[in-house]
Structure 1
């Protein structure tokens, strides 16, 4: 159960706003001073401690104590302090982003998600998945061209919309209730379930021809639990299609944007260990950052 954060103190919040404005203006040391003044007023405010960590990090100082204080005040880690600790080398990289952090992020993001992602970041993950699936699983392979589909991390339903004409049944899971409510408005899904993907799949009653994971792997470092949870929910010979961001090394690593990067070799190893054959892997970018496409790949795996 996620506990509510304390009600913010208006005086502390005014000082926090000044600090954040200074930070945005390129004055991190002055920002840290303003934020420390806010902490003196409201020492239990999680967001203020996190902001102090950001300011100290930008100033080249020791931000670890501020991030640890954030975690002590909010062990569920809605701010993602554990991620920052890992990125500054003060803690190991977590195997996935904290659930509360992802849920909070997307609950806040849901009303403007599509405008931001599609218009500003040129997101095309669902289109990449559709193109890849149509290559390896054309409509001629099924009697009526339709598939039973499960959309993991369904968000507002962008991937569901991309596969609307191929669905016999379409279900979705997402950690954010705010996103689920947006997806419901599309009236495409037969079932929508809020929850963490791996836990939800453990008791999932349906079986599918195709499971989609558009922009899901970027929030998970160790993909083995996800792949292992997906495999029993697929029918024999079913497909698992996903997008990810890539890096030139081996395995997985945590990137500076709070997103995980995975090598194609890592994908192949995890697939083999969890009962999948790699049908296709294509280098492709799914979104941009500051106008620059982010290296990535789209893959289709088949249940052995």
Structure 2
């Protein structure tokens, strides 16, 4: 009978001096990481792997730093080696899958996660990542099962609850997910979105309005966030009112001093309850708002009803060709042009402009989108 070879073991170097050096490097790397000095930590991780090539934690740390610096290919190799040294680690199954998803390899990620859930049938993180891989593979029914399992294991996981809700009922997000997401994001929102993610939708909408105008205020900025859209609009479009679901985002928008009225809450509810937002508006803009809502029929009708004659509704969507509404593994929704055309016709709006435009980078790849300008009357 042939005996199966034992898996490699994660160990420090046998040389006590090298073992001490490895521990020093690992501590130093984690300190640099905690200080936000990721490039320095990445350099330390490379030295650590050379000193302790059989230490799983060394390869895991190198993989984590590679992910932080956008080197998903190096991360995948590092996590794969770490997993060879520590084959029962749930964290390493998840980390390797995340790197593979970043490399647009969802089938490989799903394979790793299938092994992981066999070893760890009660690890919510494995099922959460598996759901993402299955969505990227075009397997929504399987993804629903994975996200539902994750929510049973960790009921307060808002992302998994959001995904399960959106997959169970087309276009129905979890109501608490978006508010929590943007509250946690408010402090770094502008720099991260406009820097690393190369977000230029506000400028592109402003350029489209300048080309297809003239249009005059007042303006309603739906999902105003920190106020990025308002800063791109000319004085002729003021006064500007803003609504956002995130209280912390609204606080940032208030600091800009460009809004007449600001409210926190669900946009459809605010429009129904607040007389300050009754309109009519010459412009209503919704930059990257519908992608967090899914089924936008009711909100769309509320916005159309508040447009002045000749007023313009300007917005962006993440684009899909075939489906009306689809949830993506990012947690955002995509919409088809046909779906938007149907809403426009139902609300007596004519299509003034429809322009292809990337929404942002995701995993270093542009997300396809469309910008729309719709006119009332």
Residue equivalent to 1:96: 172
Root mean square deviation of aligned Cα: 2.7
Secondary structure, in 3 states, of the residue corresponding to 1:185? helix
Instruction: Report the CA distance between 1:21 and its aligned residue.
Output: 5.5
> Cα distance, 1:168 vs. partner?
2.4
In terms of fraction of residues, the more strand-rich structure is: 1
SS at match of 2:229: helix
Matched, 1:170 2:240: yes
- Does residue 1:24 correspond to 2:127, yes or no? no
Runs of 5+ unmatched residues, structure 2: 1-88, 98-111, 135-141
How does the TM-score come out when normalised to structure 1? 0.76
- Cα drift, residue 294 of structure 1: 1.5
Match of 2:355 in 1: 282
Distance in 2 of aligned mates of 1:59 and 1:129? 33
Aligned residues of 1:126 and 1:158 also touching (Cα < 8 A): yes
Structure number with the higher helix fraction is: 2
Query: Offset at 1:34?
Result: 6.7
Evaluate the alpha carbon distance shift between residue 244 and residue 175 of structure 1 in structure 2; reply closer, same or farther with a 3 A threshold: same
Cα 1:64–1:96 change in 2 (3 A) is closer
| Cα distance change, pair 228–300 in 1 and its aligned pair in 2 (3 A) | same
Which position in structure 1 is the counterpart of 2:224? 154
Following superposition, the deviation at residue 96 of structure 1 comes to 3.5
Residue of structure 2 aligned with 1:184, choices 254, 266, 274: 254
Which residue is equivalent to 1:83?
A: 163
- Flag the structure with larger Rg: 2
Shift of 1:57: 4.4
Q: Deviations over 1:190-211 (max 9, x none)?
A: 1110010111111342411100
- Corresponding residue number in structure 2 for 1:44: none
- Shift of residue 80 of structure 1? 4.0
Change (3 A) 1:86 1:175: closer
> Following TM superposition, by how much is the alpha carbon of 1:20 offset from its aligned partner in structure 2, in angstroms?
4.2
Matching of residues 202-217 of structure 1 within 5 Å: 202-205=272-275, 206-207=278-279, 208-217=281-290
Q: Distance in 2 between matches of 1:285 and 1:97?
A: 23
Report the TM-score when normalising by structure 2: 0.63
| CA spacing shift, 1:57–1:150, aligned 2, 3 Å | closer
Give the one of 304, 308, 325 matched to 1:252. 325
**Aligned partners of 1:125 and 1:59: how far apart in 2?**
28
Aligned residues: 262
User: Could you tell me how far 1:238 is from its partner in structure 2?
Assistant: 1.0
2:47 matched residue in structure 1: none
Deviation, structure 1 residue 220: 2.2
Q: Distance in 2 between matches of 1:129 and 1:253?
A: 23
